[in-house]
């Protein structure tokens, strides 16, 4: 009966389907929701009574569970030849204007009720209905929708929906779905990270070598032939393989009795494995595996998209960690990328335009580890002496059991190396001794190891060597760890404080770890885009930089006892008062200054920390002092004002030196201000002081 959900004179087959669904099942059209039924009736009236041709036909479906609880999908076809629509006396007349208004207001239910009030028309007759089982087609459609939807992998219900879909497709209850991805470069399977996603092949592991997850036959079937691999009876094949085939072992341990492993592959590569498993034997087999043929293309599309997204994420992560584009200039890169894409879409030969910023003020600073080269050489000498001494003791012991002059010759050579290490350690000494120990000595020791009297001693020797460098790595390890910890700590402080500085006024910032930490900053109108730049922000950033260098030194000496080796640091700032231009070099993934005059700034940056005070052999940078390099009198006046302010805040001491520097190559006339840094026992929480604070202090 139209619009009454009343069914009569139904077939026995239909009655059987409804009985299997259970007494509590309510039959309703799944994709006919809300007010759609009412509006569909209005559309029928417009067609039958007013002669319009509105096409409201849609494929309608029933979703009816079978006796096993598996959802079946049925398409409904109607024959309305035996119906009649009669307007009642109170039915409003529909004008052309009404019709046109309704065409643009499908969602306005109140408007439809106004034009077609309830009980204003009578529908007479009955509808003949036929239903067709379209479970396979609908399952594939549902699968496609689930896989295409964005962010589904994070949805807790994603895997349940997927399992329900496969159960409907295969008409099997209790089937579980798993995934694993394939990494060709490692020949490994990896688990997929997502809500509720698991891999039954990996059996709890995050990743596994393919040869340890599969036997040779299954490996060849899945990875080489890219064909389905089915196991109808896990227990049977587990026994036949004597428990040695890893895929049977993994399935049996999890209680599964049958399985289908389907390769997710395109024409060129395998991307992963779709895993269907069941706790019942024989219900998953090579016959119903063929039903997967129609769904694998959609799974492949989803996995390819997921792989692209993962690659983009990894690329972004690498960029963030290694060659990140600073947020202050990201807009420029985005702007140029849009231009590039626009030209490409036009069919033009697109190229990335030069990314440059004009009239920006540079700031450079570094906290350098003093004597790092000497400390490394000392650590290297100590390690080599220990290693050579141990080798010498082995040959002395070997001579007692086998009196060969060659052992004496090797001992003589070792003594010469030990003497060289103590008196005349050269740049190439380390390489010569390492080659000697790693080739000639290593071969002989492996031969001597066959002698029972020497075996333990030689094993202990090889056990003391570091696997990667193949030599004793004790004192050098302490040195490397010290440098690494210093750099990490200083960089962490600088990065954290930079966030606060960016909030004062946006500027470009980058830092590098060497034997210490150095940083570049550029500030100016062309970076911020807005007409907001004022020299006050430059002065403020210069003051902030001085303050941070003092704070970093304080933290370093507070933490110095935590480092394996005690080393000192020295801090330096370079002042360049003229604005310059910078551009991004695509090959080196970093900004460089433009122009011949501006290049002077880069030359000074690279060489000035090794410069001497004029007429002396004293380096301008010294531990316990903050050194400010400059060339103009106005810079000196400006920074002496900052120093006066920081003295009042007890960042630096009263002693102030002004010295001239010996000329560098192509650079003359440099001077330096040196001030004592005051250190504190505790890392007191200090506020940053703005340019306004500085002005108040100077005027007072």
What tens digit of pLDDT does each residue of 165-193 get? 888 888 888 899 999 999 887 899 988 86
Total Cβ atoms within 10 A of residue 40: 15
| Dist CA 486 CA 556 (whole Å) | 7
Total Cβ atoms within 10 A of residue 307: 14
Show the tokens assigned to 384.
């080599």
Contacting residues for 598 by C-beta, under 8 A, at least 6 apart? 580, 581
230: confidence class by pLDDT, cuts 50, 70, 90: very high
pLDDT for res 209: 94
Question: Mean pLDDT of all residues in the chain?
Answer: 84
Per the model's pLDDT, the better-predicted residue between 554 and 261 turns out to be 261
Per mean pLDDT, which range of 341-345, 363-367, 591-595 is the poorest?
Answer: 341-345
Judge whether residue 319 has pLDDT over 80. no
> Do β-strands 652-660 and 580-585 pair in parallel, antiparallel, or remain unpaired?
unpaired
**3-state secondary structure at position 374:** helix
Judge whether residue 692 has pLDDT over 60. no
Tens digit of each residue's pLDDT (9 = 90 or more) over 645-668: 999 988 998 899 999 999 887 678
Closest to 427 (Cα-Cα) out of 474, 383, 380? 380
Contacting residues for 323 by C-beta, under 8 A, at least 6 apart? 589, 590
Q: How far is CA 162 from the centre of its chain?
A: 27
Backbone angles phi, psi at 133, to 5 degrees: -75, 110
pTM, whole model, 2 decimals?
0.54
Give yes or no for a contact between 581 and 595, defined as CB atoms under 8 angstroms apart: yes
| Dist CA 692 CA 698 (whole Å) | 10
Judge whether residue 685 has pLDDT over 60. no
| Dist CA 604 CA 667 (whole Å) | 7
pLDDT for res 344: 61
Helices (H) and strands (E) in the chain, counts: 23, 22
pLDDT for res 218: 95
Query: Cα angle vertex 359, ends 355, 365, to 5°?
Result: 90
478: confidence class by pLDDT, cuts 50, 70, 90: very high
> For residue 317, with 0-12 CB atoms within 10 Å meaning exposed, 13-18 middle and 19 or more buried, which class applies?
exposed
Closest to 183 (Cα-Cα) out of 217, 216, 210, 204? 210
Closest to 528 (Cα-Cα) out of 324, 691, 360? 360
- Mean pLDDT along residues 40-50: 90
pLDDT for res 318: 39
Number of residues written out for the chain: 700
- Mean pLDDT along residues 69-77: 82
- Mean pLDDT along residues 610-621: 90
Instruction: Express as a percent the part of the chain with pLDDT over 70.
Output: 85
pLDDT for res 402: 84
Judge whether residue 154 has pLDDT over 70. no
Query: Cα angle vertex 347, ends 342, 350, to 5°?
Result: 60
| Dist CA 331 CA 338 (whole Å) | 11
Tens digit of each residue's pLDDT (9 = 90 or more) over 374-432: 999 899 999 999 989 999 998 888 888 888 888 888 899 999 989 988 888 877 888 88
Show the tokens assigned to 473.
């790595």
Residue-range domains of the chain with CATH:
12-133 (no CATH), 137-312 (3.30.450.40), 375-471 (no CATH)
- Mean pLDDT along residues 454-460: 89
Query: Cα angle vertex 437, ends 433, 440, to 5°?
Result: 115
Closest to 306 (Cα-Cα) out of 143, 184, 139, 149? 149
> Do β-strands 590-593 and 508-514 pair in parallel, antiparallel, or remain unpaired?
unpaired
pLDDT for res 337: 65
Closest to 696 (Cα-Cα) out of 654, 656, 641, 650? 641
- Which secondary structure element, helix H or strand E, spans residue 231, and what is its range? strand 229-231
| Dist CA 2 CA 38 (whole Å) | 11
| Dist CA 221 CA 260 (whole Å) | 12
Q: Please, where are the H alpha helices in 322-371? A: 327-345
Closest to 678 (Cα-Cα) out of 657, 648, 698? 648
Total Cβ atoms within 10 A of residue 59: 9
- Which secondary structure element, helix H or strand E, spans residue 361, and what is its range? strand 356-370
Show the tokens assigned to 658.
């002004």
What b/e sequence results for 564-587 when a residue is b if at least 16 CB atoms lie within 10 Å of its CB, and e otherwise? ebebebbbbbbbbeebbbbebeee
Give yes or no for a contact between 380 and 477, defined as CB atoms under 8 angstroms apart: no
597: confidence class by pLDDT, cuts 50, 70, 90: low
605: confidence class by pLDDT, cuts 50, 70, 90: confident
> Do β-strands 568-575 and 625-630 pair in parallel, antiparallel, or remain unpaired?
parallel
Highest mean pLDDT among 346-350, 444-448, 683-687: 444-448
Give yes or no for a contact between 273 and 303, defined as CB atoms under 8 angstroms apart: no
| Dist CA 541 CA 525 (whole Å) | 14
Judge whether residue 611 has pLDDT over 70. yes
317: confidence class by pLDDT, cuts 50, 70, 90: very low
pLDDT for res 689: 39
| Dist CA 504 CA 521 (whole Å) | 14
Query: In 515-637, where do the E strands start and end?
Result: 516-523, 568-575, 580-585, 590-593, 625-630
Per the model's pLDDT, the better-predicted residue between 254 and 610 turns out to be 254
């Amino acid at each position: 009966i139209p619009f009454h959900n009343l069914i009569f004179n139904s077939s026995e087959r239909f009655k059987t389907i409804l009985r299997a669904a259970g007494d509590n099942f309510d039959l309703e059209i799944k994709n006919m929701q809300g007010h759609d039924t009412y509006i569909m009736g209005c559309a029928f009236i417009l067609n039958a009574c007013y002669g319009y041709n509105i096409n409201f036909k849609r494929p309608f479906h029933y979703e009816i569970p079978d006796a096993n609880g598996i959802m079946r999908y049925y398409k409904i076809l109607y024959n309305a030849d035996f119906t009649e629509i009669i307007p009642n006396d109170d039915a409003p007349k529909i004008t052309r204007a009404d019709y046109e208004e309704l065409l643009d207001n499908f969602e306005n239910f109140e408007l439809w009720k106004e034009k077609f009030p309830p009980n204003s028309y009578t529908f007479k007759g009955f509808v003949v209905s036929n239903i067709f089982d379209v479970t396979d087609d609908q399952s594939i459609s549902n699968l496609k929708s689930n896989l295409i939807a964005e962010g589904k992998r994070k949805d807790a219900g994603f895997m349940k929906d997927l399992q329900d879909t496969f159960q409907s497709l295969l008409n099997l209850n209790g089937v579980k779905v798993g995934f694993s991805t394939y990494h060709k470069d490692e020949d490994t399977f990896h688990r997929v990270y997502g809500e509720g996603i698991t891999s039954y092949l990996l059996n709890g592991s995050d990743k596994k070598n393919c040869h340890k997850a599969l036997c040779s036959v299954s490996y060849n079937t899945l990875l080489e032939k890219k064909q389905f691999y089915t196991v109808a009876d896990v227990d049977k094949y587990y026994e036949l393989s004597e428990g040695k085939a890893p895929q049977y072992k993994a399935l049996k341990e999890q209680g599964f009795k049958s399985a289908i492993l389907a390769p997710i592959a395109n024409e060129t590569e395998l991307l992963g494995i779709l895993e269907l498993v069941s706790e019942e034997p024989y219900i998953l087999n090579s016959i119903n595996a063929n039903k997967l043929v129609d769904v694998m293309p959609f799974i492949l599309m989803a996995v390819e998209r997921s792989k692209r997204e993962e690659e983009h994420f990894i690329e972004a992560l690498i960029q963030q960690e290694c060659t990140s584009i600073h947020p202050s200039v990201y807009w420029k890169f985005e702007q140029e990328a849009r231009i590039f894409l626009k030209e490409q879409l036009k069919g033009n030969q697109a190229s990335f335009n030069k990314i440059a910023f004009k009239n920006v003020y540079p700031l450079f600073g570094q906290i350098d580890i003093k004597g790092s080269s000497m400390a490394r050489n000392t650590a290297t000498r100590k390690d080599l002496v220990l290693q050579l001494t141990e080798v010498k003791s082995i040959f002395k012991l070997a001579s007692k059991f086998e009196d060969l002059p060659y052992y004496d010759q090797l001992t003589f050579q070792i003594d010469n190396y030990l003497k060289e290490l103590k008196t005349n350690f050269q740049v190439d000494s380390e390489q010569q001794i390492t080659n000697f120990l790693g080739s000639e000595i290593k071969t002989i020791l492996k031969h001597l190891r066959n002698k029972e009297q020497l075996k333990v001693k030689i094993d202990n020797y090889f056990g003391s060597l570091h696997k990667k460098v193949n030599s004793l790595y004790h004192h050098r390890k302490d040195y490397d760890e010290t440098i690494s910890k210093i750099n990490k700590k200083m960089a962490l402080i600088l990065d954290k404080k930079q966030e606060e500085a960016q909030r004062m006024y946006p500027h470009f910032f980058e830092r590098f770890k060497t034997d210490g930490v150095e940083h570049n900053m550029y500030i100016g109108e062309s970076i911020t885009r807005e007409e907001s730049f004022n020299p006050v922000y430059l002065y403020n950033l210069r003051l902030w930089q001085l303050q941070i260098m003092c704070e970093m030194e304080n933290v370093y000496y507070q933490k110095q006892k935590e480092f394996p080796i005690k080393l000192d640091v020295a801090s330096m700032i370079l002042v360049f008062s003229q604005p310059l231009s910078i551009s991004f070099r695509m090959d080196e993934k970093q900004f460089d200054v433009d122009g011949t005059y501006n290049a002077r700034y880069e030359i000074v940056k690279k060489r000035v920390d090794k410069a001497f005070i004029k007429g002396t052999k004293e380096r301008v940078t010294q531990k316990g002092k903050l050194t400010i390099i400059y060339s103009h009198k106005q810079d000196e006046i400006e920074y002496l004002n900052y120093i006066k302010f920081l003295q009042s805040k007890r960042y630096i001491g009263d002693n102030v030196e002004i010295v001239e520097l010996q000329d560098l190559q192509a650079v003359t006339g440099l001077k330096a201000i040196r001030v004592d840094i005051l250190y504190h026992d505790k890392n007191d929480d200090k506020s940053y002081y703005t340019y306004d604070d500085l002005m108040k202090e100077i005027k007072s």
